[in-house]
């Protein structure tokens, strides 16, 4: 039977249009010209993501790899890809629970995410607070001992939850200055992140 190329072409066109219709469009952030405005506006964000790289060092253990974070309301999904046999792991959860999916697809609910990551891999990341620190603001659920700002009202140093957070560089993200290079350290671990791309979405 001779194929109907006109029907095939129409079907392909409809598929392309359907794909375009479901593609989410990123939006720009509001103007963040003071610390008060920045802290309030960024804390209210409900739908955003970043793509970047991460380096973790804890004694003789650690790795360098890709690091992508997606936030939807209280739910987050963090993909960590590194060498040394850990493969790519997925950490996802919300304000009630955190789940780890290892390179073999085995899912485990983590009762204490930081402690259990250290037990499994020898390193950890500050899972609960990282969503705020990456945005350049303190975790509102944890008391902050020290908060230092630069002349433009942007966070450069924070002591919170036993971690020291330092943001050494900002760059454009969503039309505003967002963290580009961030380091979080505690007595056992140093986490360094380089954020290559920010995306923000309207809810």
Mean pLDDT of 95-111: 90
pTM of the predicted protein model: 0.84
Say if residue 156's pLDDT is above 50.
Answer: yes
CA distance 140 to 117: 23
How many distinct structural domains can be found in the chain?
1
Domain-embedded: residue 67: yes
- What does the chain come to in residues? 203
Domain CATH number, residue 120: 2.50.20.10
Please name which of 13, 115, 134 lies closest in space to residue 67, comparing C-alpha atoms. 134
Domain-embedded: residue 134: yes
pLDDT digits (tens, 9 = 90+) for 15-31: 443 444 346 799 999 99
Domain-embedded: residue 1: no
Say if residue 4's pLDDT is above 90.
Answer: no
Domain-embedded: residue 21: no
Question: What sign does the CA torsion over 197, 168, 65, 137 have?
Answer: negative
> Which range in 51-60, 78-87, 160-169 is most confidently predicted, on average pLDDT?
160-169
The percent of residues above 70 in pLDDT, for the chain, comes to 86
Domain-embedded: residue 54: yes
3-7, 33-37, 44-48, 169-173: lowest mean pLDDT where?
Answer: 3-7
CA distance 64 to 117: 16
Range of the domain at 80: 26-200
Q: For residue 121, what pLDDT band results from cuts at 50, 70 and 90?
A: confident
Domain-embedded: residue 51: yes
């Amino acid at each position: 039977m001779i194929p109907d190329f006109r029907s095939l072409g129409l079907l392909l066109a409809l598929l392309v249009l359907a794909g375009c219709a479901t593609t989410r469009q990123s939006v720009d952030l509001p103007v963040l010209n003071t610390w008060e405005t920045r802290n309030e506006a960024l804390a209210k964000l409900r739908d955003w993501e970043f793509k970047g790289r991460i380096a973790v060092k804890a004694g003789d253990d650690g790795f360098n790899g890709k690091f992508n974070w997606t936030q939807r309301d209280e739910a987050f999904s963090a993909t960590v890809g590194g060498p040394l046999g850990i493969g790519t792991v997925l950490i996802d959860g919300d304000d009630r629970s955190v789940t780890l999916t290892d390179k073999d697809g085995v899912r485990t609910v983590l009762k204490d995410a930081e402690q259990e990551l250290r037990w499994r891999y020898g390193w950890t990341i500050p899972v609960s607070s990282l969503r705020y620190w990456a945005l350049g603001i303190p975790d509102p659920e944890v008391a902050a001992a020290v908060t230092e700002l630069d002349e433009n009202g942007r966070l450069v140093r924070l002591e919170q939850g036993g971690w020291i957070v330092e943001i050494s560089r900002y760059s454009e993200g969503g039309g505003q200055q967002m963290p580009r290079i961030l380091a979080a350290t505690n007595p056992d671990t140093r986490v360094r992140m380089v954020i290559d791309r920010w995306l923000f979405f309207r809810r």
